[in-house]
């Protein structure tokens, strides 16, 4: 009776590790990518389509550049995190909102969007 609870916990943990090992990144990454796309298109969140044409999105604006071939342009994901967090640091005149600095998006949300951007 006394060791019942810890054993269950251990089994759950072991199971998680097995799943983790069998399907390492792809599952988690795929989920993050689709979450990132949702956040990017959501009008109350990224609302990136207001300014950018992005594959899969309707009624894009033309204020910012078309977002394509992002991975070849920005191989280092940290650059993308920086652009989303506060583009005014790179370009003080930019019209792109400082999503991280002004807490429009959390760090986790920004990371999901960056995963999505890297598929474009």
Partner 1 sequence: MALAAVALAALTLAAPAADTPDPVADAKAFRNFFVTKFPKVKLEDFVNGPYSMNEGMRRQWEEKEQFPPYEFSLDTGKEMFSRPFKNGKSYADCFPNQGIGVRQNYPYFDTNEGKVITLELALNKCREANGESALSYVRDDMAALTAYMAFTSRGKPFDIKIPDDPRALEAYQNGKRYFYTRRGQLNFSCATCHVQNPGERIRAEILAPALGILNAMPIYRSEWGGMGTISRRFTSCNSQIRGVPLEPQAEEYRDLEYYLSYVSNGLPISGPGSRP
- Residue 64, interface with ligand HEC (CB under 6 A)? yes
CA distance 54 to 98: 19
Dihedral sign, CA of 79, 83, 89, 95? positive
- Residue 88, interface with partner 1 (CB under 8 A)? yes
Q: Mask 48-67, x = binds partner 1 (CB under 8 A)?
A: -xxx-------xxxxx----
- Residue 94, interface with ligand HEC (CB under 6 A)? yes
Cβ partners under 8 Å of residue 35, min gap 6: 112, 116
- Residue 95, interface with partner 1 (CB under 8 A)? yes
- Residue 78, interface with ligand HEC (CB under 6 A)? no
């Amino acid at each position: 009776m006394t060791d019942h609870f810890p054993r269950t916990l251990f089994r759950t943990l072991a199971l998680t590790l097995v799943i983790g090992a069998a399907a390492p990144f792809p599952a988690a990454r795929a989920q993050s990518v689709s979450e990132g796309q949702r956040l990017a298109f959501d009008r109350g969140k990224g609302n990136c389509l207001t300014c950018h044409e992005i594959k899969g999105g309707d009624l894009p604006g033309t204020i910012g550049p078309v977002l394509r071939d992002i991975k070849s342009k920005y191989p280092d994901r940290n650059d993308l995190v920086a652009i989303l967090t506060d583009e005014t640091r790179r370009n003080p005149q930019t019209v792109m909102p400082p999503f991280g600095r002004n807490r429009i998006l959390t760090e986790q949300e920004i990371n999901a969007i960056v995963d999505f951007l890297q598929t474009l």
